[in-house]
Structure 1
Amino acid sequence: MSAVELGGRRVWLTEQEGRRPAVVLLGGCGVPSALWQPVVDLLPGRCVVRLDRPGMLGTPWPGRLPRLDEEVATLAALVGRTRVPVVLVGHSMAGPHAEVFVRRYPELVQGLVVVDGSVEWDLRPAGRRDRALRAFWLVAARAVQSGLRPPPLRLVARLGGRVVVAAQSRLRLWEPMPAVAALGDPDAAASVVAENGAYTDQLRDLDRVRAERPWPGLPTVVLTAAGDGGSSWVHAQRRLADLLAARQVVVEDSRHLMMLDCPQRIADAVRAVEEEA
């Protein structure tokens, strides 16, 4: 484990040495890399790299809402550290990061697994309301960063993280969640708020990249958690799978944090895209 400078930002990498191609695990908004451990355990002997974006695990939050381009630049620098091609696994909000990377650098990727990736269809153009919302989210992130300095409030933030994990998985609130302690750090909490504030803008930027860069046709699996959004979410994910010429796998017994609920499905998907390549 180490903090490194990638794409102009300080991030944290957790690396397991082993057989290539490397599997790069990218968590969604506020998802500490330790939550991927059940998947890593199912990939013995493999090179596995986990990324914690700025603000997590003691790295500084940069003090702004993250842009899609800088997320992709960080990912490009990460992939540049390892032997290519790699298998990318993008969860939730990191799904768009991985998709854009594949569209821009297809020669560096062997396959893609999207785990309950973020999708929004028919987004309207940004307007004055969106500028006001960006300012609100930035103020909120800075307020959280400064407000969580007292240790008692950090405990409250950790409890909030525990509630969110329990709400998005099959875990019970009282079950062990060691990775959630990281969310009590002021920079980590500010990062989570900032990433939420960047959500819509990043998906608008994704739409622009889709219009400019055709899908290269790499082996892709879209894993859809059916335990939260029901049929409408499954349909939205099917549109994503169609767009990426991917195979959709609907995981009925999983909620959003599939790496906790059904890690075997993710490990199986990694092997599937490798075999197809």
Structure 2
Amino acid sequence: MTTPPSTAPTDIASPWGGVGRTLDLDGPVHWVDFGGPDTETGATEPAPVALVHGLGGSHLNWVGIAPALAARRRVVAIDLPGFGLTPALGRATSVNHNAALLSRFIHEVLGRPVVLVGNSMGGMVSLLLADRRPEQVAGLALVDPALPNPGARPDPQVAATFAMYAVPRVGELVLTRYNKSVSDRQRVLGTVALCFADPSRADVDVVEAGVELAAWRRSLPDPEGEFLGAARSLLRVLRGRREYDRIMRDLDRPVLLIHGTRDRLVPVSAARRAARLNPAWRTAYLEGMGHTPQLESPEDVLGHLEPWLESLD
């Protein structure tokens, strides 16, 4: 087993009140504790929130909204194996394996049902967990989750990129060449350009933290393999959409679906389709927002998320 570099920037979320911690789940799992309010003895504590990032993301995806959420309830953010400050170290990085690991994390760290807030791949992981371990889930907030969209024409750049990811050896070769040809800052800004409808909305401090994190991940033995393992598993779930549709249709937990209308990765039509599968879901479509509205416009996301969370208490 390869040991990750000892210089991991574990305090990277400290400007937003986050405290980095590590848990052993068949290998180190990094997570960030954003704290919560002081609760009077005997008072009923609201369900804690567990934030689950998307493909290529990390706990930094949540720093725009986590401090505000922590004013009323315990808030934590996990770095799934293969992402953020959690190297895989031989563990599988598929969405199914990460759903199982998320279940263990909830049991070990929080010990009670949680509200899962998942973006992109993190939304898929959250849905898989809610289907398999519903007793661990008090509710789900899905922020631009990874969803099937049969019959729709995808964004050409996104379609070409994921087609490349899907091919064994080709994905590894192209991704390795790309990572060697660009700087860490270029990689982060490229992700912003893809995930934001308006890249000028990106928070400079979050970008700088992302560059620091990207530099550390570059030092790992096989970051491309870790990423592609997750990407390919996500594509398999989307292709087997009947089972994924069943999970969404049969889900009996409260759900808030938030989706940007200018999301290039998961078009808003996919979100509208998912909402039709389960009319009990509450929906909020954010006009002019991209794939990561919790970073692009945190106030808009909080404007829908906070009242919904209060309705669960």
- TM-score (norm: length of structure 2): 0.71
**Correspondent of 2:55 among 19, 29, 33:** 29
Q: Indicate whether 1:242 and 2:276 are aligned.
A: yes
Give the SS at the match of 1:135. coil
| Residues 13 and 52, structure 1, Cα contact 8 Å, conserved in 2 | yes
Query: Which of residues 153, 162, 181 is equivalent to 2:189?
Result: 162
- Whether the 8 Å contact between 2:113 and 2:137 is mirrored in structure 1 is yes
Is the counterpart of residue 96 in structure 1 residue 127 in structure 2? no
The match for 2:160 is none
Helix, strand or coil at the partner of 1:103: helix
Q: Distance in 1 between matches of 2:194 and 2:247?
A: 37
SS of equivalent to 1:179: helix
Matched residues in 2 for 1:178 and 1:61: separation?
Answer: 24
Following the alignment from structure 1 to structure 2, what is the Cα–Cα distance between the partners of residues 24 and 144?
A: 32
* CA RMSD, 1 decimal: 3.4
- Secondary structure at the residue paired with 1:198? helix
Q: Percent sequence identity over matched residues?
A: 23
Using a 3 Å threshold, how does the CA distance of structure 1 residues 93 and 111 change in structure 2: closer, same or farther?
same
Q: Is the 8 A contact 2:65 2:298 kept in 1?
A: yes
What TM-score, normalized to structure 1? 0.79
**Letter paired with 1:160:** R
- What is the alpha-carbon distance in structure 2 between the residues aligned to residue 87 and residue 60 of structure 1? 25
* Length, aligned pairs only: 262
Matches within 5 A, 1:246-265: 246-265=281-300
Q: Answer with 242-251 or 188-197: which moved more.
A: 188-197
1: CA distance, partners of 2:82 / 2:181: 15
Alpha-carbon distance between aligned partners in 2 of 1:213 and 1:39, rounded to the nearest angstrom: 25
Equivalent residue letter for 1:227:
R
Bigger mean CA offset, 23-32 vs 100-109: 100-109
**1:126 equivalent in structure 2:** none
1:124-179 deviation per Cα after TM superposition (whole angstroms, max 9, x unaligned) = xxxxxx9x9452367449x739x97xxxx597144212221133223338944123
Structure 1 stretches of 5 or more lacking a match? Answer: 124-129
Q: Deviations over 1:42-93 (max 9, x none)?
A: 2243311101122334432345763232111111011112042211111011
Change (3 A) 1:258 1:144: same
CA distance in 2, matches of 1:57, 1:117: 19
Q: Which runs of 5+ in 2 are unaligned?
A: 1-19, 38-45, 152-162
Secondary structure of 1:228's counterpart equals coil
Distance 2:267 2:172 in 1: 31
Going from structure 1 to structure 2, the CA distance change for 1:56 and 1:119 (only over 3 Å counts) comes to closer
Q: Which has the higher contact order (CA 8 A, sep 6+)?
A: 1
CA distance in 1, matches of 2:237, 2:192: 23
